[in-house]
């Protein structure tokens, strides 16, 4: 039982997935606060930096890029990670034998890689699972934990608009508001506001998007990023959400070239279409309506392969459900 493992543990390493989103950071910091409340010594780790819009969450300033080398952990808790590789170097770098691993997640593609697996693909977010789970292990819902969890729910559901929002999601959110989370503030800062550089990335993507047989897609190259004065790999989740909401789009796809020449692909679908089926073909994963994967470059070649796979999936899935 995971409850006993947590009870026994003194030093816990909590890991959120690489390239973290609001559910990853919200879940990471909520578990951190909850375990501290239970008297555990906690390290929070994530391979990539906490995005600025989540840096105001409790404990966000204590998220490390790697585990502490001077600490021997007796438990690892992975949050929002669909498979082992999503934990990145934060897990890989731990010496063997690695500590017992607990896997808390809501991705339908989760590989159950933990010794303990708390997986609920029907949950809107890992934060929604944690809302139940933290109570079950005796954590009192503080305003800080509520703020972290509601950030996870609000961002993963795009403000309660996704098809996996249930009455249970709304009840969890209501309880978090009762516990002191400010829903208007969380929605504004974690969901709507974005840096100007993000708007510029959208401009690049929208300027040459293509629309064919239900697939609306675009790509963003390193050269385009550089000539717009932008650095790093673009955050394309807002753009891909925008694309899939266009009339007649069944799937939206954004391909972004990273600094090392790989291609990161973010995909969205409208029901009843399913982009997780496409993502797994390229070693990725996710949900039916939101998934991702990474391919080797060059960008044009990756684009050809992904576009062909999406078109094939749209035809197949359309035939399976003749209503749309
Ligand atoms: Mn999530």
Å from CA of 107 to ligand 1 middle:
7
Å from CA of 22 to ligand 1 middle:
8
Q: Which band of pLDDT confidence, cut at 50, 70 and 90, is reported for residue 323?
A: low
Query: CATH 3.90.1640.10: which residues of the chain?
Result: 2-192
In this structure, are residues 79 and 29 in contact, taking their beta carbons and an 8 Å threshold? no
**pLDDT mean over 168-191:** 97
Query: pLDDT tens, 11-69?
Result: 999 999 998 999 999 999 999 999 999 999 999 999 999 999 999 999 999 999 999 99
d(CA 233, CA 254): 12
Instruction: Give the least confident one: 177-181, 195-199, 302-306.
Output: 195-199
Is 324 a residue whose pLDDT tops 60?
Answer: no
Å from CA of 156 to ligand 1 middle:
6
Instruction: Give the least confident one: 89-103, 233-247, 291-305.
Output: 233-247
Å from CA of 81 to ligand 1 middle:
8
User: Which fold does the domain 2-192 belong to in CATH?
Assistant: inorganic pyrophosphatase (n-terminal core) (3.90.1640)
Å from CA of 324 to ligand 1 middle:
28
Å from CA of 228 to ligand 1 middle:
31
Å from CA of 105 to ligand 1 middle:
7
Residues across the chain:
324
Strands (E), 56-197: 63-64, 75-79, 101-105, 116-119
d(CA 312, CA 43): 44
Å from CA of 124 to ligand 1 middle:
7
Query: Which of 143, 169, 171 shows the shortest CA–CA distance to 23?
Result: 169
Query: Which of 121, 169, 175 shows the shortest CA–CA distance to 147?
Result: 175
Instruction: Give the least confident one: 1-5, 123-127, 228-232.
Output: 228-232
Å from CA of 162 to ligand 1 middle:
12
> Mean pLDDT, the chain, as a whole number?
95
Does the pTM surpass 0.95? The reply is no
Query: pLDDT tens, 141-158?
Result: 999 999 999 999 999 999
Radius of gyration of the chain (CA): 20
Å from CA of 227 to ligand 1 middle:
33
Predicted local distance difference test score (pLDDT) of residue 229: 85
Å from CA of 158 to ligand 1 middle:
11
Predicted local distance difference test score (pLDDT) of residue 234: 76
Query: CATH 3.10.310.30: which residues of the chain?
Result: 197-320
In this structure, are residues 273 and 250 in contact, taking their beta carbons and an 8 Å threshold? yes
How many Cβ atoms are within 10 Å of 16's Cβ, its own excluded? 32
Å from CA of 316 to ligand 1 middle:
27
The pair of three-digit structure tokens given for residue 175, joined into one six-digit string: 């309880």
Query: pLDDT tens, 82-120?
Result: 999 999 999 999 999 999 999 999 998 899 999 999 999
**Peptide linkage before 97 cis (omega within 30 of 0):** yes
For the structural domain made of 197-320, what CATH number should be given?
A: 3.10.310.30
Å from CA of 87 to ligand 1 middle:
14
Question: Biggest alpha carbon distance in the chain?
Answer: 59
Å from CA of 9 to ligand 1 middle:
25
Give the H/E segment covering residue 184.
Answer: helix 183-187
d(CA 91, CA 66): 8
Which residues, 6 or more positions from 20, have their beta carbon under 8 angstroms from its beta carbon?
A: 28, 46, 48, 50, 51, 54
């Amino acid at each position: 039982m995971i409850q006993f493992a947590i009870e026994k543990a003194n030093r816990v390493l909590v890991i959120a997935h690489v390239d973290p989103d609001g559910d990853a950071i919200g879940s990471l910091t909520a578990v951190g606060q909850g375990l501290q409340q239970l008297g555990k010594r906690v390290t929070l780790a994530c391979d990539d930096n906490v995005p600025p819009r989540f840096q105001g969450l409790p404990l966000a300033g204590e998220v490390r890029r790697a585990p502490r080398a001077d600490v021997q952990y007796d438990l690892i808790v992975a949050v929002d990670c669909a498979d082992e590789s999503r934990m990145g170097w934060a897990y890989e770098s731990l010496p063997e034998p690695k500590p017992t691993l607990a896997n808390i997640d809501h991705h339908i593609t989760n590989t159950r890689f933990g010794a303990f697996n708390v997986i609920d693909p029907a949950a809107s977010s890992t934060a929604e699972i944690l809302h139940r789970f933290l109570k079950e292990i005796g954590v009192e819902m503080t305003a800080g934990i509520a703020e972290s969890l509601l950030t996870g729910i609000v961002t993963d559901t795009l403000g309660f608009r996704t098809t996996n929002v249930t009455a249970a999601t709304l009840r969890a959110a209501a309880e978090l508001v009762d516990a002191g989370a400010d829903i208007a503030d969380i929605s504004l800062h974690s969901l709507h506001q974005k840096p100007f550089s993000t708007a510029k990335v959208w401009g690049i993507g929208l300027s040459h998007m293509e629309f064919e047989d239900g697939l609306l897609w675009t790509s963003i190259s390193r050269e385009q990023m550089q000539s717009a004065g932008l650095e790093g790999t673009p955050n394309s989740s807002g753009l891909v959400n925008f694309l899939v909401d266009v009339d007649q789009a069944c799937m939206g796809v954004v391909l972004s070239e990273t600094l090392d020449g790989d291609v990161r692909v973010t995909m969205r679908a409208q029901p009843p279409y399913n982009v997780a089926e496409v993502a797994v073909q390229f070693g990725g994963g996710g949900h039916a309506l939101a998934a991702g994967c990474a391919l080797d470059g060059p960008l044009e070649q990756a684009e050809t392969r992904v576009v062909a796979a999406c078109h094939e999936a749209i035809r197949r899935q359309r035939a399976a459900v003749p209503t749309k």
